[in-house]
Amino acid sequence: MPIQFEGENHAILELAQSITEQQRNEMHQLADLYPHQVLNVSYDFDDGFLEEKGYLTHMIGFATTKENTFDDLEQLFIEESLWAIFPNQGPFPATLQETTAKIYSEWLP
């Protein structure tokens, strides 16, 4: 996905819209960890991402301890000490983008 700081990222929107009803049901069957809600996970950022350049990998799904047995879903394993959840509520995508900015300007430093 192209890195974009403000406004709707059409590539992420297209990804969300491509999730089928069957995939939604399968993801809900796997979901067994906090926050028990849909997660938008971005990782593997290109160099220059702080200048809004390059690409990132983005996944939409749920946290789980279960093994994925569904052929139409991908599963990403992340060690417990390598991820954090930053709950946020508000209008999308502005709230998510503001939260991401605070993560990089306040939490990470």
- The DSSP-derived string for 63-75 is --SSPP--TT---
The tokens of 12 are what? Answer: 């992420």
Confidence at residue 25, expressed as pLDDT on a 0 to 100 scale: 97
Evaluated on CA atoms 20, 22, 23, 28, the torsion sign reads positive
pLDDT greater than 90 at residue 72 = yes
pLDDT greater than 90 at residue 6 = no
Confidence at residue 74, expressed as pLDDT on a 0 to 100 scale: 95
Query: Residue 69: pLDDT band by 50, 70, 90 thresholds?
Result: very high
Per-residue pLDDT tens for 73-92? 999 998 888 888 888 889 98
57 by DSSP, 3-state: which? strand
Asked if residue 26 lies in contact with residue 72, where contact means CB atoms within 8 angstroms, the answer is yes
| Residue written as token pair 């300007």 | 105
Among candidate residues 84, 85, 95, 30, the one with its CA nearest the CA of residue 61: 30
Instruction: Name the pTM for this structure.
Output: 0.78
